[in-house]
Structure 1
Amino acid sequence: MRTEEEAAFAEYMTARRDAVRRTAYLLCGEWHKADDLTQTAFVKLYGAWGRIRDRGALDAYVRSCLVRATIDESRRPWRRERAVEFLPEPHPSAGGSADLADFAGGLADRDAVREALRQVPPGQRTVLVLRYYEGLDVKAVAQALGCSDGTVKSQTSRGLAALKAALAVTGTTPERREGEGR
């Protein structure tokens, strides 16, 4: 690879690394695994960098590599083991204000959604992350996953139902939040 191409790759990777890592985390649910998946996606991109003509499609290419790597990793038997529970995120220093209560409630809701998302089957979780976190439309998700628009729609519907059911178990539902005056 030429020096100019390496510089362009390094610039792209630096700009997109955190966003790709967050997407990887939402796909797999573990930060260490997300780091591995992010690295795998960027290694694939580096190998194909000289062959990619449309630089505007880099995000789609990396996302596709990320989804494929997630699927590949989930099929390996040693990846089925679960890590120990993570330490909770540090809470801000106690100030006793209403902002602190809002912050704590937001953290609790975010953690509940993250945990509920882990309980959604991997294929449905992938569709939900691509649709609602990455903001892709049905056609773009279908293209990224190599499936039909109808499959994306049905997996979205089933995934949302599974997410809603998992959230109902924890008591984190829109109805609960409205009742609390949020």
Structure 2
Amino acid sequence: MRVDEAAEREFAEYFRARCEAVRRTAYLLCGDWHRADDHAQSAFVALHRHWRRIRDRAALDAWVRRTLVRSVVDESRRPWRRERAVDALPAVPVAAASDAVATRHALVDGLRAVPPRQRAVLVLRYLEGLDVAATAAALGCAEGTVKSQTAHGLAALRAALGDALDDLRPAG
């Protein structure tokens, strides 16, 4: 099979331009940088495999996002990847960090407690800035499902954050 140099160059440009954004989205979906790297790599490998067949280059971000979300949700369903409850939480050193860093850490910790499908909806809607229709297209579900998963996900996030919400609100 002959390698199409123009297509390879075009893919490489797209990869360089979107690699970090896809990796960040993967991290927000799964909560672990190592797994995020794996998911981002899987999404780009799938994109490369289908590169010549994708005609609408304007839809590449949506294609990669959908592949990424499917990868994270599918992995979370595998029995060896399920989180296990522990009796005591490990001691976490408290670093002197800015409010923005503390807020981001609290949010990521809260997102880890939200079920994968709801987490995917929250990340796509509020952190990626997609509307309901685009989120539904990315997840391959109905808009009503996105709305209900958003409501359930926000409730789960609020419950997971608990008192941390009060700590995150500015005084005044």
TM-score (norm 2): 0.87
Q: Cα RMSD (Å) of the superposition? A: 2.3
Query: Partner amino acid for 2:7?
Result: E
Indicate yes or no: 2:139 matched with 1:145.
yes
Structure 2 vs 1, CA of residues 68 and 176 (structure 1 numbering), >3 Å: closer, same or farther?
closer
Shift, 1:81, TM fit? 5.1
Aligned counterparts of 1:122 and 1:87: Cα–Cα separation in 2: 24
Structure with the larger RCO, 1 or 2 (CA within 8 Å, 6+ apart): 2
Report deviation, 1:68: 1.1
Aligned partners of 1:130, 1:62: CA distance in 2, in Å? Answer: 13
TM-superposed CA distance for 1:175, in Å, is 7.8
Contact residue 24 and residue 37 of structure 1 kept, 8 A: yes
C-alpha distance after superposition, 1:60-116 (max 9, x if no partner): 00001101111221122222257x97986975xxxxxxxxxxx53322222111111
- Indicate if the aligned counterparts of 1:128 and 1:159 stay in contact, CA closer than 8 A: yes
Aligned to 1:94: none
* Correspondence 1:90-109 to 2 at 5 A: 103-109=97-103
Tell me the secondary structure at the aligned position of residue 141 of structure 2.
coil
2:95 and 2:16 map into 1 onto residues whose CA distance is 27
In structure 1, list runs of 5 or more residues that go unmatched.
Answer: 92-102
What is the distance in 1 between the residues matched to 2:23 and 2:50? 20
Residue 58 (structure 1) aligned to one of 39, 46, 60: 60
Question: Pick from 125, 146, 151: which aligns with 1:157?
Answer: 151
Aligned partner of 1:38: which letter? Answer: A
Q: What residue is the counterpart of 2:165 in the other structure?
A: 173
Q: Deviations over 1:148-169 (max 9, x none)?
A: 111100100111111112112x
| Counterpart contact for 2:121–2:150, Cα < 8 Å | yes
Deviations 1:100-149 (A, max 9, x none): xxx53322222111111111111110000010111100001111111111
Which residue, out of 114, 137, 149, partners 1:120?
A: 114
- Note the residue ranges of structure 2 that are not aligned, 5 or more in a row: none
1:45-73 deviation per Cα after TM superposition (whole angstroms, max 9, x unaligned):
00000001111000000001101111221
Query: Aligned residue pairs: how many?
Result: 166
Q: Judging changes above 3 Å, is the alpha-carbon distance between structure 1 residues 72 and 175 closer, same or farther for their aligned structure 2 residues?
A: closer
Structure 2 letter corresponding to 1:20: V
TM-score, normalization by structure 1: 0.83
C-alpha contact (below 8 Å) 2:114/2:157 kept by paired residues: yes
Using the alignment, how far apart are the partners of 1:31 and 1:85 within structure 2? 19
Secondary structure of the residue aligned to 1:135 is: coil
**Correspondence for 1:40:** 42
* Alpha-carbon distance in structure 1 between the residues aligned to 2:166 and 2:93: 24
- The equivalent of 1:96 in structure 2 is none
Say if 1:29 and 1:176 are closer, same or farther in 2 by CA, change over 3 A: closer
- Distance of 1:12 and 1:87 partners within structure 2: 38
Percent identity, aligned pairs only, is 60
CA change 1:89–1:141 in 2 (3 A) is: farther
